[in-house]
């Protein structure tokens, strides 16, 4: 029979060592959750590490795909109800008995030409396949900026968002988009702008035009 040697009391870990190991394991789990799981799965990046490691894009796309699938399921049309044959025949007879009213051709409608917008800044950016870039504006809370951007040569994925120390917000996201325009209102004082990524097979050129209440505009990466 094999006799195993039992460890002595001195060889067993102390309560302090067990407590320290438990705390280190808990801290490691929290760090992995915040730095890896949240950016990669949900697009939430409170530390900014996920954006550096390119994991936040993956999480944002996952959330976008999930939202699109839910919207498609909610918008699925119901099966059409078959009309009764006799009722359909009766409606056809009634419609045939009514005299038709001749259609009146619409007259010409004058369309006023849209005034040319005078933009404050215009920033063109060329993106190679798989490349991403970000342009931010410094804005105070409540400030508004009118913007318009267009993609030459293809389409991009984008995220309109803002950030400040301890705060972040995503205003709008899109996939395979060739242009966008509107008014961006800052939810808080900080940096607000756009992130684009070229998921196509050829180079594209993004041209951003802006005007409004901001103090600085710069390309972040």
pLDDT averages per 10-residue partition of the chain, 221 residues: 58 76 83 73 74 67 68 59 46 49 52 72 96 96 97 96 95 96 97 96 97 94 66
pLDDT given at position 28:
81
pLDDT given at position 34:
73
Residues 126 and 46 in one domain: no
* Domain annotation covers residue 86: no
The CA-atom distances, in angstroms, between 185 and each of 66, 139, 152 are 27, 9, 26
Count how many Cα atoms sit within 13 Å of the Cα of residue 118 in the half-sphere of its side chain. 0
Residues 47 and 134 in one domain: no
pLDDT given at position 35:
73
Q: Is the pTM of this model over 0.75?
A: no
Residues 67 and 128 in one domain: no
pLDDT given at position 5:
61
The number of folded domains in the chain is 2
* Domain annotation covers residue 100: no
Q: Which stretches of the chain are assigned E, i.e. beta strand? A: 121-127, 132-139, 144-152, 156-164, 167-177, 179-185, 190-197, 204-212, 216-219
Q: 123 burial class (0-12, 13-18, 19+ CB within 10 angstroms)?
A: middle
Sheet with 167-177: strands ordered across: 167-177, 156-164, 190-197, 132-139, 216-219
Return d(Cα 43, Cα 59) in angstroms, integer.
4
* Domain annotation covers residue 22: yes
* Domain annotation covers residue 89: no
Phi then psi for residue 157, to 5 deg, are -90, 145
* Domain annotation covers residue 26: yes
pLDDT given at position 221:
66
Return d(Cα 180, Cα 190) in angstroms, integer.
22
* Domain annotation covers residue 182: yes
Task: Give residue 46's domain range.
Answer: 15-71
**Cα dihedral sign for 8, 12, 15, 16?**
positive
Return d(Cα 132, Cα 60) in angstroms, integer.
14
pLDDT given at position 83:
43
């Amino acid at each position: 029979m094999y006799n195993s040697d039992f460890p002595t009391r001195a060889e067993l870990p102390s309560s302090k060592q067990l407590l320290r190991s438990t705390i280190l394991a808990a801290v490691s789990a929290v760090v992995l959750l915040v730095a890896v799981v949240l950016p990669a799965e949900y697009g939430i990046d409170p530390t900014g590490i996920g954006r550096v490691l390119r994991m936040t894009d993956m999480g944002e796309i996952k959330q976008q795909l999930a939202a699109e699938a839910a919207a498609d399921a909610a918008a699925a049309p119901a099966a059409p109800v078959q009309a009764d044959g006799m009722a359909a025949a009766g409606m056809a007879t009634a419609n045939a008995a009514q005299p038709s009213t001749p259609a009146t051709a619409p007259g010409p409608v004058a369309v006023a030409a849209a005034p040319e917008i005078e933009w404050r800044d215009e920033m063109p950016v060329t993106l190679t396949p798989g490349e991403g870039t970000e342009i931010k504006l410094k804005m105070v809370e409540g400030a508004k900026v009118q913007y318009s951007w267009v993609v030459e040569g293809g389409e991009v994925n984008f995220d309109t968002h803002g950030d400040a120390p301890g705060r972040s917000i995503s205003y709008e996201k899109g996939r395979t988009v060739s242009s966008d325009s509107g008014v961006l209102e800052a939810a808080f004082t900080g940096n607000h702008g756009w992130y684009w990524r070229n998921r196509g097979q050829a180079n594209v050129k993004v041209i951003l035009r802006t005007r409004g209440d901001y103090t600085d505009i710069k390309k972040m990466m």
